[in-house]
Amino acid sequence: MDLELTAEQRLLRDTIRKFVNEQIRPVAREWEAEGRYPDEIAATMAELGLFGLCVPEEFGGMAADMVSLAVVFEEIARGWMGVAGIIGSHSLSCWMIAKYGTSEQRSRFLPELATGERRSGIALTEPGAGSDLQGIATTARRDGDHYLLNGRKTWITNARHANPLPVLVKTDPAARPAHAGMSVFLVEAGTPGFEVVRDLPKLGYRGPETCELVLDDVRVPAGALLGGTEGRGLQQVLAALETGRINIAARAVGVAQEAFDQALRYAGEREAFGQKISGFQAVQLKLADMAIKLQAARLLTYWAAARLDAGHRADLESGMAKVYASEVALGCAVDAMQVHGGYGYSREFTVERLYRDAPLMVIGEGTNDILRTVIARSLTSGRGTVG
């Protein structure tokens, strides 16, 4: 068992780290506070090929392995977690199109998605359906050579930049079980009836837009049905979410690493009662616990990614990684704030932003409570084992 990154993965990590240190860190606090969209950062990510992480090489992409993907998202999230969202759901969408798209869909969309000329996201959640995807109400009704889409989606990252945007719908609302009547359509920007109605205000995760959108008799050609066959949408989405949870787990590791780094640095600088606070046992215990949990979360994330790279089903492993890493990120953010004392509550210090960003990973890509049931079902059904 090799727990070390390959030479290529280390080179990728160092390249992304240099980019983050030079172009993201210097502006993160100011731009995040302003709610500014980081266009310049997105442009550099396109130059680095990061929009093509999950695009096959034949279409101009990087075809990155899952461990490399985790490395990229960890490094970007260390600098500014919100920026990772620009390529997060985009990468998930690219993976779905590459895996399940028709030849025409792949050749039409993937080359421009790889360069960032096109961007994407994924529209799953609705006002009345979050983790319960089978409870969605958005429908697609066949009308000759087209479908008419109607419904409402919310909490959609990259909604204003996505073209196309994969949208999960019910093509047969009466189907039982419900997943047998669910499909994904690739909806292109500018299609009449497709409207982004508002940007949602957020505690953290600033930078990319997170929106609510409406589909009102959106007429799309039958060729927009992902894969060309109805009834496979939920299967396609759930498979993609395995890679999405690697993305979220890696972002959580990045946030936890930054929280630890900030706490360690501050503890070595701050003096109280005539000595550095790093000399106080209470602070030392916090730092030790943060380091232990951080490294465990990283290894769990890389392990889950490696399982996917080996061609195994990884709903158990990616679920474990996402749950554990996200809760470590949340805990490290709180601990880092406590190490900073009152300064940790100030917007002048990075830990305040980490404290606001960390909860998203606990909620996003399936809440941790839901994922715990997924993990348990995998174990009790015999599909997954531990040890």
What is 205-268 written as a DSSP string?
A: --SS-EEEEEEEEEEEEGGGBGGG-TT-HHHHHHHHHHHHHHHHHHHHHHHHHHHHHHHHHHHH
Most confident segment among 44-48, 363-367, 371-375: 44-48
Task: Spell out the residues 6+ positions from residue 2 whose beta carbon is closer than 8 angstroms to its own.
Answer: none
> Is the pLDDT reported for residue 131 higher than 90?
no
Only one residue has tokens 């000329």, namely 117
Q: What confidence category does residue 313 fall into, taking pLDDT thresholds of 50, 70 and 90?
A: confident
Residues annotated as catalytic (active site), given as ranges: 365
Say what the pLDDT of residue 113 is.
98
Per-residue pLDDT averaged across 314-320, rounded? 93
> Is the pLDDT reported for residue 336 higher than 90?
yes
Q: For domain 133-230, say whether CATH 3.40.50.970 is its number.
A: no
CATH superfamily of 7-115: Acyl-CoA dehydrogenase/oxidase, N-terminal domain (1.10.540.10)
Beta bridge partners of 123: 167
Q: For domain 235-381, say whether CATH 1.20.140.10 is its number.
A: yes
Token code pair at residue 254: 């990045």
Sheet holding 210-221, edge to edge: 182-187, 165-170, 139-143, 146-157, 210-221, 194-199
Contact 226, 96 (CB under 8 A): yes
Candidates 208, 190, 213, 200; CA nearest to 251 is 208
DSSP label at 216?
A: E
Token code pair at residue 361: 């990973």
Neighbours of 342 (CB within 10 A): 8
Domain extents for the chain?
Answer: 7-115, 133-230, 235-381
Percent of the chain exceeding pLDDT 90 equals 93
pLDDT digits (tens, 9 = 90+) for 51-93: 999 999 999 999 999 999 999 999 999 999 999 999 999 999 9
Say what the pLDDT of residue 1 is.
64
The predicted model scores a pTM of 0.95
Per-residue pLDDT averaged across 341-351, rounded? 93
Q: What confidence category does residue 360 fall into, taking pLDDT thresholds of 50, 70 and 90?
A: very high
Give the Cα separation of 80 and 78 in Å (integer): 6
Q: What confidence category does residue 208 fall into, taking pLDDT thresholds of 50, 70 and 90?
A: very high
Put residue 144 in one of left, alpha, beta given phi > 0 → left and psi -120 to 50 → alpha: left
Contact 31, 89 (CB under 8 A): no
> Is the pLDDT reported for residue 2 higher than 80?
no
Say what the pLDDT of residue 124 is.
97
* Stretch among 19-23, 51-55, 181-185, 371-375 having the lowest mean pLDDT: 371-375
Candidates 164, 136, 155; CA nearest to 198 is 155
